[in-house]
Amino acid sequence: MSILIDQNTRVLVQGITGKEGSFWTQHMADMGTNIVAGVTPGKEGQLCCGAPVYHSVRNAVKAHKADAAMVFVPPKFVLDAVMESLDSGIRLIVTLADGIPLHEQAKIRAAALASHAVVIGGNTSGLIAPGKAMMGSIPYWIERVYKPGRIGIMTRSGSLTNEVTAMVVAAGFGVSTLIGVGGDPVPGARFAEFLPAFEADDETDAVVIIGELGGTMEEEVAEAIASGRFTKPLVSFLSGRTAPPGTRMGHAGAIITGGKGSVEDKTRLLESVGARVARRPREVGSLLKAALGERN
């Protein structure tokens, strides 16, 4: 099985009638996602991508029992959109927008934790359970990379995700669920928070994390392994290995601050608890083989 989403997840789309919303909603539907409704204020009664459109999330949830929300709205409207979904009982929300104000990101995360909800993003391409469902902006051609299988993947990156996942598939594996947590300093959810679900999933044999310099998400993964909260094999690839201290990369969250967050420190900590760390993307597949072979 997958974690978070599958073909039975009932997804509503906020901002469905916009250019991006309608384009990616059609892609999601074509990849098996169960799109039950859309939300655009002032456009109730219309159809978009075969889904009925409502003024509000509450109306859509009442009519269609939606249990997940895909948010396609500009950054300045994301906070309101997420709060509307949380207030309507939605407990899985994916938001792609890049450039959400930091203080609003913090409010979103606090509200998600208080509601026992999962908010993925912003600054992400979303999540996918290959062959079942996708929430986000992962295009058709990606089906050549995202083959169904038994490896969970979590990532802070975008383009690197495709490259590393291609190496996983080339090694003979496939993907159970891929989660793009996003590259912002305060994402809605963090790597370690998904580890218990991957641990409990009997169709996930190992997990790959695609991290980068800055922040502490990778260190939190190491702590989960050390405490015994995650026991399956874990392989990681961390970008930014040669970046000097103070370097900011493409993501707002990828910056070394206060002497912490370097790839070298993350690598040492992960390896100290038994995780394997690839120095190059092409090594991920062989490290997975070694880790699973050792476990068996």
SS3 content of the chain, % helix, strand, coil (to 5): 35, 25, 40
β-bridge partners, 269: none
Inter-residue contact 273 to 225 (CB < 8 Å): yes
d(CA 66, CA 197) in angstroms, rounded, equals: 22
Question: Can 251 be counted among the known catalytic residues?
Answer: yes
Q: Would you give the DSSP letter of residue 81?
A: H
Of 27, 55, 116, 251, the active-site residue reads 251
C-alpha atoms less than 13 angstroms from C-alpha of 228 in its C-beta half-sphere: 0
d(CA 69, CA 49) in angstroms, rounded, equals: 16
Residue with tokens 């999601």: 28
Inter-residue contact 272 to 286 (CB < 8 Å): no
Inter-residue contact 206 to 235 (CB < 8 Å): yes
Residues carrying an active site annotation: 251
